[in-house]
């Protein structure tokens, strides 16, 4: 109840807000209407300011000692395993797969929502909390984030349609992608948080950052509800189900068993398992739009995996909460 209560309340608030905006806001079907603009502007606020500041606030109370470098290593192993499983399934399927559909399927199997959803889950769980937030942060910032806009963008460019509208030489495309990753506000906040952790801030500022960080957790859940309410496409349900099974069952199980064999247990193991089992990333929708992938499949994977989280969370808590 301590976990599902806040998550359910935040997501339901977003769903209700989306329904009200669609019902009463002017121009609900147009890009400039509030129905489209509210989640868009909230997402931009969270991306550019909210989540970066919340990272700084939570990092001041997180324990950054221990083998935190293991988190991004596990993240990359999970990403590559998801890519391998997706490619093997595509090859085993006798039905023809258009290249854009292959791209959306592989991205859904590889990349999870370790930021907007992963952070709240780790922070709200009584077994985890702020103390082990560093593991979730390292997993997301140095793993999923780089995987999404690094390897994910490369894969989308190879399998997509025309891609970004600017026809740049391949070398310039690489430099543009690397620069975009380096300028990402979450990466910048990651470095800022590390630098400020050893600096004593005024008590009111430190408390204010911490309270603001928790407010951002709530807004992230509201945004998830808004996005779920706007999901309308459920085509390709069979292929989406396979991608979600890989992402939310195969990957966390492999991570859990692998870490157990390596002797990693306790809260760090649980954090990495949960992050590996997060729903398909919203960034997949961004990549699908930018590189002309299969948008319907990407939307279906995000919606199906988000709903599946309520079923898979108890499974991993039951299986890996012990020492």
Averaged pLDDT for residues 232-256: 90
- 3-class DSSP state of 112: strand
Whether the predicted pLDDT of 166 surpasses 50: no
pLDDT at 65: 78
Q: How far apart are CA 76 and CA 55, in angstroms?
A: 21
E strand or H helix at 101: helix 99-110
pLDDT, tens digit, 9 for 90 and up, residues 3-32? 678 878 888 999 999 999 888 877 766 767
pLDDT at 40: 80
- Domain harbouring 29, CATH code: 1.20.1530.20
Mean of per-residue pLDDT scores for the chain:
85
pLDDT, tens digit, 9 for 90 and up, residues 63-97? 787 789 999 999 999 999 999 999 999 999 988 99
Averaged pLDDT for residues 139-166: 78
pLDDT band at 244 (very low <50, low <70, confident <90, very high): very high
Whether the predicted pLDDT of 121 surpasses 80: yes
- As for how many domains the chain has, the answer is 1
Averaged pLDDT for residues 104-125: 91
User: Is pTM beyond 0.85 here?
Assistant: no
Q: How far apart are CA 107 and CA 124, in angstroms?
A: 27
pLDDT, tens digit, 9 for 90 and up, residues 274-310? 999 999 988 887 788 778 888 889 888 988 998 898 8
pLDDT at 245: 97
Whether the predicted pLDDT of 323 surpasses 60: no
pLDDT at 49: 87
pLDDT at 187: 75
pLDDT at 221: 82
Which residues are bridge partners to 280 per DSSP? Answer: 112
Q: How far apart are CA 122 and CA 274, in angstroms?
A: 8
pLDDT band at 177 (very low <50, low <70, confident <90, very high): low
Which range marks the domain in which residue 218 is found?
4-320
Averaged pLDDT for residues 186-210: 85
Percentage of residues of the chain with pLDDT beyond 70: 89
Residues 6+ apart with CB under 8 A from 244: 108, 279, 280, 301, 304, 305, 308
Of the listed ranges 140-144, 195-199, 238-242, the one predicted with least confidence: 195-199
Whether the predicted pLDDT of 165 surpasses 50: no
DSSP secondary structure string for all residues of 188-202: HHHHHHHHHTTSPPP
User: Locate tokens 């890009």: which residue?
Assistant: 31
Asked whether 250 and 85 are in contact (CB, 8 A), the reply is: yes
Length of the chain, in residues: 323
DSSP type of residue 168: -
Percentage of residues of the chain with pLDDT beyond 90: 34
pLDDT at 280: 93
């Amino acid at each position: 109840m301590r976990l599902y209560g806040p998550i359910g309340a935040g997501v339901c608030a977003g769903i209700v807000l989306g329904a009200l905006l669609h019902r009463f806001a002017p121009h609900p079907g147009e890009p400039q209407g509030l129905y489209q603009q509210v989640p868009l502007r909230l997402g931009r606020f969270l991306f550019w300011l909210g989540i970066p500041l919340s990272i700084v606030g939570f990092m001041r109370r997180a324990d950054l000692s221990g083998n935190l470098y293991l988190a991004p290593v596990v993240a990359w192993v999970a990403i590559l395993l998801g890519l391998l499983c997706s490619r093997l399934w595509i090859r085993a399927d006798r039905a023809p797969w258009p290249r854009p559909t292959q791209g959306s399927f592989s991205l859904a199997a590889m990349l999870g929502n370790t930021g907007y959803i992963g952070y709240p889950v780790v922070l709200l769980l009584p077994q985890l909390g702020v103390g082990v937030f560093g593991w979730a942060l390292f997993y997301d910032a140095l793993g999923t984030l780089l995987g999404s806009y690094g390897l994910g963008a490369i894969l989308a460019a190879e399998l997509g349609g025309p891609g970004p509208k600017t026809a740049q030489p391949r070398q310039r495309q690489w430099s543009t992608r690397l620069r975009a990753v380096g300028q990402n506000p979450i990466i910048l906040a990651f470095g800022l948080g590390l630098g400020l952790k050893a600096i004593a801030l005024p008590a009111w500022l430190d408390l204010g950052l911490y309270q603001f960080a928790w407010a951002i957790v709530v807004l992230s859940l509201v945004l998830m509800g808004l996005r779920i309410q706007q999901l309308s496409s459920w085509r390709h349900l069979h292929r989406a189900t396979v991608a979600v099974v890989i992402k939310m069952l195969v990957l966390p199980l492999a991570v859990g068993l692998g870490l157990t064999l390596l002797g990693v247990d306790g809260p760090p193991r649980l954090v990495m398992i949960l992050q590996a089992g997060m729903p398909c990333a919203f960034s997949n929708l961004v990549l699908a739009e930018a590189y002309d992938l299969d948008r319907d499949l990407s939307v279906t994977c995000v919606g199906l995996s988000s709903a599946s989280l309520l079923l898979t969370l108890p499974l991993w808590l039951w299986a890996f909460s012990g020492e």
